[in-house]
Amino acid sequence: MDKKQFTIEMANEFHRRMASIIDAVQAGIWEAGLHDLLGYDSDYGFGQQRGIQTLVLKTGHRSAYLRLYWDAILGESQADRQLVDDAVKRAINTLV
């Protein structure tokens, strides 16, 4: 990603989508019977060529790591959405 292409709108959308992932995992573990507050941390690379975006999700006893490319997180295609959905499901299964 060229730094000139990076905008505040992109940054805000990225954070909205990461928050949606956190929300989906929190709801998923709750529905599965694990009534625990989900903690999280992140390690962001800026843009596709700088690496994978990592989101660490933690309950009281387990941790899950979601690693997705920037373009997948911000992507609009069905394939991108499926990558995110699959990562959310894996995190839920790891945490419960």
| Verdict on whether the full-model pTM lies above 0.85 | yes
% pLDDT > 70, the chain: 89
DSSP string, 41-86: EEE--SSGGG-EEEEEEE-SS-EEEEEEEHHHHH--SHHHHHHHHH
For 42, the domain range is 3-95
Residue 69 or residue 23, greater confidence:
23
Contact 73, 84 (CB under 8 A): yes
Domains of the chain: total: 1
